Structure 1
Amino acid sequence: MSTSEAHRQWQQWCEQRTGTVAAPYGPLSLTGTHWLPDLPDGRIPAIPGQWSEAPEGDGVLLRARTEDDLVVDGKPFTGETVLAADPSPEAAKVASGERKLLVMHREGVWAVRVFDPGSARRRAFAGIDVFPYDERWVLPGRFCPYERDQRITVENADGRARGLALAGELVIGPAAPDGAPAGVPHGREFALRVAAEADGALWGVFADGTSGVSGYRFRFLRPGVPDADGRLTVDLNRALLPPCAFADHFICPLPPPGNRLPFAVEAGERNPLAH
């Protein structure tokens, strides 16, 4: 692929990212994550209904009165129902006006998230600041899986520690002898500990010399699915901001040990922009 075509595709990716983030129920619209153990009376501030863990522990029990004006599956709802975890805000079964009330389950704990298209963060959003495209940050990679997933505990953006399953190491580089990005020694590889999704796609969370300096405190990397030999191209121009960069109520994992790079990755997304 030519440099101009790669740059064009990257620009399209940037535009798609901005559209995804700014969508009515994108990350900017999250205004609260409410863990049920923190709600002894089952009441969520400014949200109607009563929310508690179902007696069997297999969902969230919602109790609503007519005056709560809640909608479930597109119809006005009163009474009781048990709600399973929702796959996405858009698919959330419960709504209160324009707000979507998403049921989620993490490590045995149920919670309700509130997505409001009229959130202050979404109204103030002016785009995503990115580093200029640099083809030197498009590097070869190979995935070295562990014999079995390693589950470790890492701090999350909300200050709580949670489990993170790691599938192996993604070895990146070396850069071409005449094209190593600044700070990356010629001929050197570096590695990130990464997770694998159900379809085999890799993802990792990392920090580097830009973190908290010229960019957000950490970023995500989603390089795709390796081939049968574990090889893939890693384009660090597509390093992306985690959801918690756009709303304070996400619980993104912080980089695990080994994923804090000793040099600056001046590629990819840097920070959200606001009016």
Structure 2
Amino acid sequence: MNDAYSDSIAKWRDERLAALTAEDGWLNLTDRVAIVPGRMTIGSDPQNDVQISAGPGHLGTLELSADGNATFDDGQAQHQFQRVPDNPPRLKTGGLLLEVTQVEGAFALRVRDIGAASRKAFPGIESYSTDPEWRIEADWIPLDEPQDVEIDLVTGARDRVRITHQAEFTHEGQVVTLLPTHEKSGKPMFVIRDRTAGRETYGAARFLIGEVSGDKVVLDFNKAFSPPCAFTEFAVCPLPVAQNIMPFEIRAGEKKPADH
């Protein structure tokens, strides 16, 4: 195996672990509560309009507009939720990180405990041995016309996404076509499942970010990773479309978390 390639995968895994255990990672979520536009008090006291399980009895007052803009009054000043690339609007207050999420027009307040011990004690992520054969250069094919596709979410709800391209490669003599149903930092993201799901990898799906170069897209399955819902019940993850469920094993990338 090329040492530079092996080192690059090791570096990617280190960055992945750092992101997962960061204060805005997926290990310190405490709540996800449905909310509607309007003005509402937030806190751990049940007398609040929206009760959360972390933080002070009365954290403050959230005001949410129908277009998703949100402000928060902590009793001393009013603060605007800030938009962050690849993330919902967010605000730090009272040792918590608040985010206003939206799926198919439905809003929710997502809460992270910045100092949570759970992320500090995280044992790490187990992965398969790096296998350069699973770094695949696939054809990146534009669709004749963009397609609007409905996808299922782990909550039982559905979302709608627009697809403009597909990735195509050959595995063991069979043509495999994958659809990128999402985007991450401007790159196509594939929600996939293979025959290791449920036994060795997370059962619902894994995610894979493609690297596009001209009419090719690199699908490096050594970087396939478990979705947020593998680590918390408060994440809303997409499930793979039928075309992205592969009838063979991909023994590369992340394995399922220890408690799954």
Classify the TM-score, shorter chain: 0.7 to 0.9
2:45 corresponds in structure 1 to none
Mapped to 2, the partners of 1:38 and 1:200 lie a distance apart of: 29
1:30 corresponds in structure 2 to 29
* Cα 1:251/1:91, change in 2 over 3 Å: closer
CA drift of 1:50 comes to 3.6
Are 1:208 and 1:265, in contact at CA under 8 Å, matched by a contact in 2? yes
* Cα 1:124/1:38, change in 2 over 3 Å: farther
1:9 corresponds in structure 2 to 8
CA drift of 1:131 comes to 0.8
- Superposed CA RMSD in Å reads 2.9
Are 1:125 and 2:111 an aligned pair? no
TM-score, reference length from structure 1: 0.77
Mapped to 2, the partners of 1:117 and 1:243 lie a distance apart of: 17
Q: Which amino acid in structure 1 is aligned with residue 189 of structure 2?
A: W
Are 2:80 and 2:91, in contact at CA under 8 Å, matched by a contact in 1? no
1:37-186 paired onto structure 2 within 5 Å: 37=36, 42-46=49-53, 48-54=59-65, 57-60=67-70, 62-64=72-74, 66=75, 76-77=76-77, 83=81, 85-87=83-85, 92-96=90-94, 98-119=95-116, 121-172=118-169, 174=170, 184-185=171-172
Q: Which amino acid in structure 1 is aligned with residue 208 of structure 2?
A: L
Are 1:263 and 2:251 an aligned pair? no
Mapped to 2, the partners of 1:253 and 1:87 lie a distance apart of: 19
Tell me the secondary structure at the aligned position of residue 15 of structure 1. helix
The structure with the largest alpha-carbon Rg is 1
TM-score, reference length from structure 2: 0.81
**1:170-192: CA deviations, max 9, x gaps?**
112x3xxxxxxxxx52x333111
CA drift of 1:84 comes to 6.2
CA drift of 1:159 comes to 2.5
* Cα 1:17/1:58, change in 2 over 3 Å: closer
**Of residues 195, 199, 202 in structure 2, which corresponds to 1:213?**
199
* Cα 1:52/1:131, change in 2 over 3 Å: same
Gaps in structure 2 of 5+ consecutive residues: 41-47
Are 1:90 and 1:100, in contact at CA under 8 Å, matched by a contact in 2? no
Q: Which amino acid in structure 2 is aligned with residue 59 of structure 1?
A: N
Tell me the secondary structure at the aligned position of residue 18 of structure 1. helix
CA drift of 1:86 comes to 4.9
**Of residues 231, 235, 239 in structure 2, which corresponds to 1:246?**
231
Identity %: 25
Tell me the secondary structure at the aligned position of residue 194 of structure 1. coil
Mapped to 1, the partners of 2:7 and 2:123 lie a distance apart of: 22
Tell me the secondary structure at the aligned position of residue 92 of structure 1. strand
* Cα 1:105/1:196, change in 2 over 3 Å: closer
Q: Which amino acid in structure 2 is aligned with residue 224 of structure 1?
A: E
* Cα 1:58/1:25, change in 2 over 3 Å: closer
CA drift of 1:164 comes to 2.6
**1:33-76: CA deviations, max 9, x gaps?**
2221499874132462343532x545235455x3xxxxxxxxx4
CA drift of 1:226 comes to 3.1
Tell me the secondary structure at the aligned position of residue 210 of structure 2. strand
